[in-house]
Every structure is written in C-alpha cells, then in structure tokens.
C-alpha cells in the first residue's frame, strides 16, 4: 500500500469522524427533546413509545462511539505500517475499511428514520402543548 492510498484512507477517516461527531451531537439533542415529552405525556402507551425511541437512540449513540474507536484504532494501525513498511499487505486493511464504510452507509439510512420518528413525536408534543397550555 503506497503513501497515496494510505492518505486516501486517512481522508476517509477524517470525513467519517466528522460525520460521527455531527450525528452523535444530533442524537444527544433528540434525547433531550424527547425527554421533555415524557414530562408532559399523560398517556402511558405514548410515554412508553417515547422511552423506546430514546433507548433506540442511545443504542445508536453507543454504536457510533464504537465505530469512532474502530476508526481511531485503524488510523493508528495505518500510521504504524506506513512507518515500518513500504508495501504492506493491504487486503485486511481494505476489508476493515470497507466494513466500516458499509456500517456508516447503513447508519445514514437509519439516522434518517430516527430523525423522522423524532420529528413525528415532536409534532405530537406541540399538539399536547396546545391542548394543555
């Protein structure tokens, strides 16, 4: 693997970490907003639904944290091999890299679904607030 390829992988890592930080921040905001709904929601079934959504979001926040660690570990590994080897075996490196890429592509779709669910719950919150000023 030459230096240009390693640089390309490094650029992917930077881009992915930026996306992970942004998504993690948004997920934290979703949790905060949904927690407010629990305080005003009287219907127990609806409260449970909100709590389930919060738990799902927390799960994905942990998932992103794990991916962040995988990327950082991979980055350290790339630094090590580029320092010691001119042409290291790269099939495992690319397998790991592509696996991470696929996880992020999949999460992007999942994030849209989470955001859509949160938006629906926030509309319900506004309706509740209008009903009970």
From residue 127, give the alpha-carbon distance in Å to each of 72, 122, 130: 43, 9, 5
Query: If you average pLDDT over every residue of the chain, what do you get?
Result: 87
Model confidence, pTM: 0.84
Residue bearing tokens 């609806």: 46
In this predicted model, what pLDDT tens digit does every residue of 27-60 receive, in sequence order? 999 999 999 888 887 889 989 999 999 999 999 9
Q: Which residues of 87-112 are buried (b: 16+ CB within 10 A; e: fewer)?
A: ebebeebeebbeebeebbeebeeebe
Residue 44 CB coordination number (10 Å)? 8
Is 60 exceeded by the pLDDT of residue 115?
A: yes
Contacts (Cβ under 8 Å, ≥6 apart) of 27: 57, 60, 61, 64, 114
């Amino acid at each position: 693997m030459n230096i240009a390829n390693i640089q390309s992988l490094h650029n992917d890592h930077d881009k992915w970490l930026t996306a992970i930080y942004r998504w993690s921040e948004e997920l934290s905001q979703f949790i905060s907003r949904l927690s407010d709904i629990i305080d005003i929601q009287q219907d127990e079934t609806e409260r449970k639904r909100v709590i389930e959504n919060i738990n799902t979001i927390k799960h994905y926040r942990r998932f992103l944290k794990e991916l962040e660690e995988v990327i950082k570990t991979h980055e350290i590994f790339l630094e090590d091999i580029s320092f010691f080897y001119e042409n290291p075996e790269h099939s495992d490196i690319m397998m790991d890299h592509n696996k991470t890429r696929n996880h992020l592509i999949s999460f992007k779709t999942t994030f849209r679904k989470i955001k859509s669910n949160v938006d629906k719950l926030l509309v319900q919150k506004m309706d509740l607030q209008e009903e009970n000023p």
